[in-house]
Amino acid sequence: MGAITLQKVSKSFGDVTVIPGVDLEINDGEFVVFVGPSGCGKSTLLRLIAGLEDVTSGAIRINGTDATGMPPAKRGLAMVFQSYALYPHMSVYKNIAFPLKMAGQDQAAIKQKVESAASVLNLTDYLDRRPGQLSGGQRQRVAIGRAIVREPDAFLFDEPLSNLDASLRVNMRLEISELHQSLATTMIYVTHDQVEAMTMADKIVVLRAGNIEQVGSPLELYRNPANAFVAGFIGSPKMNLIEGPEAEKQSCTTLGVRPEHIAVSTDGGAWKGVVGVAEHLGSDTFLHVRVEGVGLMTVRAEGEFDLHHGQTIFLTPVPDKIYRFDKNGNAIR
């Protein structure tokens, strides 16, 4: 069981209000990702759920019981920190065993649980090592091992992959997703990387300045962003947000077109532009096109579309994939 409910949760540090008031429902077994730019309060929200910070007002309910004033250890949650926070003077075995030892379990049960966790995480050969002798990815796995032996109601991840290199990050992303499939436990995951959010989440919570901008599945957010901020944050490369006369033609303040929803042609189209930079990735080509009266646009073209700096091309947005936003940035449906 790992259902978590936040009711009007707010947090201030002195005079600075970080989270003005958040309502959120997290169902048992869900993989929820908090995503937002740095300083949006997503880590603070996670720490409030963990109990490492006291809420200023509002209530946190875990499995239906009020956990607002509960100490962190009593909440049945396990956390993986950005720095991993391994205990440097203890072996890997002792690190993973620490929460069980604190819970007063007997040696035989601890040994059995630590060894099974280590075999799941490919750490069996490293149980005698100290954290200082491990690579970044192995440390990450030790931190996860320390969390899973507790069999918590929910896992909390605070930007766990941000200290890893790019290829390892992709691997660990898969491993965490697989772990979620096999354990079927609630996971709350904080990241500023929208790719991690899109690939891992059942439910994405987009935060800005401590407020929830939108909650939904990755594809819901991709298809129906509630406002220009979410539209710009979800999707890679970013959505083109166009203001000015072109937007007014569509009777809106901001016009949004995703790079992948633009047809490119060398013969003719709605907008005429000049290619600035062409990024050839092989599978795709991203064109940065300067369009008269519109500005700089990013366009995704086919991989083998051979275009270069200075060439003139024509762009046509796909008509039913255009997003329109009013002057407050909210979507016009």
Partner 1 sequence: MATMHTQNTARLMMSPAVLMLLVWMVVPLGMTLYFSFLRYNLLMPGMEHFTGFGNYEFFLSDPAFFEALANTLLLVGGVLLVTVVGGTFLAILINQPFWGQGIVRLLVIAPFFVMPTVSALVWKNMLMHPVNGLFAWIAHGFGLDPVDWLAVLPLFSITMIVAWGWLPFATLIILTALQSLDQEQQEAAEMDGAGIVSIFTYITLPHLSRALTVVVLIETIFLLSIFAEIYVTTSGGPGTASTNISFLIYAEALLKYDVGSAAAGGVVAIILANIVAIFLIRMIGKNLEA
Which residues from 137-166 bind partner 1, rule CB under 8 A?
A: 146, 150
> Is the Cβ of residue 78 or residue 301 nearer to partner 1 in the bound state?
78
Nearest approach, Cβ of 77 to partner 1 (angstroms)? 7
In the list 72, 136, 232, 269, the residue contacting partner 1 (rule: CB under 8 A) is 72
Of 22-30, 85-93, 175-183, 298-306, the segment contacting partner 1 by CB under 8 A is 85-93
Query: At how many degrees (to 10) do helices 166-183 and 136-148 cross?
Result: 20
Least distance from C-beta 50 to partner 1, angstroms? 6
Q: Which residue of 7, 17, 82, 199 would you call a contact of partner 1, by CB under 8 A?
A: 82
Rule CB under 8 A: is residue 60 a binding residue for partner 1?
no
Q: Of 1, 13, 73, 309, which one interacts with partner 1 (CB under 8 A)?
A: 73
Residue with tokens 């995704």: 300
What is the four-CA torsion angle of 137, 193, 40, 79, rounded to 10 degrees? -30
- Closest to partner 1 by CB, 75 or 203: 75
Please count the residues of this chain forming the interface with partner 1, following the rule CB under 8 A.
24
The C-alpha atoms of residue 89 and residue 1 are separated, in whole angstroms, by 34
User: Does 89 help bind partner 1 (rule: CB under 8 A)?
Assistant: yes
Q: How far is the CB of 323 from partner 1 (least distance, A)?
A: 40
Q: Is the CB of 83 or the CB of 135 nearer to partner 1?
A: 83
Cβ proximity to partner 1: between 143 and 262 the closer is: 143
Closer to partner 1 at the Cβ: 86 or 231? 86
Tell me which of 77, 144, 206, 212 binds partner 1, using CB under 8 A.
Answer: 77
Q: Does 209 bind partner 1 (CB under 8 A)?
A: no
Q: Under rule CB under 8 A, which residues in 250-289 are in contact with partner 1?
A: none
Mark the segment that binds partner 1 (CB under 8 A) among 50-58, 179-187, 248-256, 273-281: 50-58
Instruction: Quote the least distance from Cβ 98 to partner 1, whole Å.
Output: 5
Q: Which residues inside 91-130 make contact with partner 1, applying CB under 8 A?
A: 98-99, 102-103
Q: For partner 1, which is the closer residue by CB, 103 or 263?
A: 103
Q: What is the 3-state secondary structure (H, E, C) of the chain?
A: CCCEEEEEEEEEECCEEEEEEEEEEECCCCEEEEECCCCCCHHHHHHHHHCCCCCCEEEEEECCEECCCCCHHHHCEEEECCCCCCCCCCCHHHHHHHHHHHCCCCHHHHHHHHHHHHHHCCCHHHCCCCHHHCCHHHHHHHHHHHHHCCCCCEEEEECCCCCCCHHHHHHHHHHHHHHHHHHCCEEEEEECCHHHHHHHCCEEEEEECCEEEEEECHHHHHHCCCEHHHHHHCCCCCCEEEECHHHHHCCCCEEEECHHHEEEECCCCCEEEEEEEEEECCCEEEEEEEECCCEEEEEEEECCCCCCCCCEEEEEECHHHEEEECCCCEEEC
Separation CA 315–CA 74 (nearest Å): 58
**Minimum separation from the CB atom of position 318 to partner 1 (A):** 47
**Contact by Cβ (8 Å): 240, 258:** yes
User: Which of residues 83, 171, 265, 316 is near partner 1 by CB under 8 A?
Assistant: 83
Q: Which of 32, 33, 60, 78 binds partner 1 (CB under 8 A)?
A: 78
Question: What residue ranges bind partner 1 (CB under 8 A)?
Answer: 50-52, 71-73, 77-79, 81-83, 85-90, 98-99, 102-103, 146, 150
